[in-house]
Amino acid sequence: MFARVLGHERQKNLLQRAVASSRLPHAYLFEGPEGIGKRLIALALTKMLFCANGNSCSECPACRKIDHHNHPDLHQINADGSSIKIEQIRALQKELSYRPLEAPYKVCLIDGAEKMNLAAANALLKTLEEPRAQTLLILLTPTPDAVLPTIRSRCQRLPFSRIPKEKLQEVLVEQLKIDDTQSHVLATLSEGSFKKALGKDRELYLQRRRDLLKNLAALSPGSVIPLLDLAQKLAEEKDLLFEILEIIQAFYRDLLLLKHGSPLEELVNVDMLETLEHVSRKEDVSSLLGKLSALMTSRRHLERNVNRQLAMEVLLMRLVA
Q: Which stretch binds Zn ion (CB under 5 A): 18-26, 51-59, 105-113, 168-176?
A: 51-59
Q: State which residue, 70 or 286, has the beta carbon closest to Zn ion.
A: 70
Among 1, 57, 173, 219, binds Zn ion (CB under 5 A): 57
Helix (H) or strand (E) holding 17: helix 9-20
What backbone torsions phi and psi does residue 303 show, to the nearest 5 degrees? -65, -25
Q: How far apart are CA 55 and CA 52, in angstroms?
A: 8
Near Zn ion in 190-249, by CB under 5 A: none
What backbone torsions phi and psi does residue 73 show, to the nearest 5 degrees? -105, 5
By the rule CB under 5 A, 60 interacts with Zn ion: yes
Among 48, 63, 110, 276, binds Zn ion (CB under 5 A): 63
By the rule CB under 5 A, 51 interacts with Zn ion: yes
Q: Which stretch binds Zn ion (CB under 5 A): 49-57, 72-80, 83-91, 126-134?
A: 49-57
Spatial neighbors of 245 by CB under 8 A, at least 6 apart, are 295, 298, 299, 302
DSSP code at position 143? -
Identify whether the C-beta of residue 259 lies closer than 8 Å to the C-beta of residue 288: yes
Q: Which stretch binds Zn ion (CB under 5 A): 4-12, 26-34, 48-56, 203-211?
A: 48-56
Smallest separation (angstroms) from Zn ion to the CB of 52: 5
Q: How far apart are CA 247 and CA 236, in angstroms?
A: 16
Smallest separation (angstroms) from Zn ion to the CB of 258: 53
Q: State which residue, 46 or 298, has the beta carbon closest to Zn ion.
A: 46
Near Zn ion in 103-142, by CB under 5 A: none
How many chain residues bind Zn ion (CB under 5 A)?
5
Q: State which residue, 59 or 277, has the beta carbon closest to Zn ion.
A: 59
Q: Which stretch binds Zn ion (CB under 5 A): 35-43, 56-64, 117-125, 297-305?
A: 56-64
Q: Which value, to the nearest 10 degrees, does the dihedral of the CA atoms of residues 164, 165, 171, 177 take?
A: 180
Q: State which residue, 57 or 198, has the beta carbon closest to Zn ion.
A: 57
Spatial neighbors of 110 by CB under 8 A, at least 6 apart, are 77, 84, 116, 124, 137, 138, 139, 140
Smallest separation (angstroms) from Zn ion to the CB of 77: 24
Q: Which stretch binds Zn ion (CB under 5 A): 12-20, 44-52, 161-169, 243-251?
A: 44-52
Tell me the residue ranges of DSSP E strands in 124-271: 135-141, 156-159
Q: Which stretch binds Zn ion (CB under 5 A): 55-63, 85-93, 255-263, 297-305?
A: 55-63
Q: State which residue, 65 or 299, has the beta carbon closest to Zn ion.
A: 65
Q: How far apart are CA 241 and CA 292, in angstroms?
A: 16
By the rule CB under 5 A, 74 interacts with Zn ion: no
Q: State which residue, 63 or 267, has the beta carbon closest to Zn ion.
A: 63
Q: How far apart are CA 182 and CA 96, in angstroms?
A: 47
Q: State which residue, 64 or 126, has the beta carbon closest to Zn ion.
A: 64
Smallest separation (angstroms) from Zn ion to the CB of 44: 11
Task: Name the 3-class secondary structure at 269.
Answer: coil
Identify whether the C-beta of residue 165 lies closer than 8 Å to the C-beta of residue 151: no
Smallest separation (angstroms) from Zn ion to the CB of 36: 25
Q: Which value, to the nearest 10 degrees, does the dihedral of the CA atoms of residues 103, 62, 10, 77 take?
A: -70
Q: Which residues bind Zn ion (CB under 5 A)?
A: 51, 53, 57, 60, 63
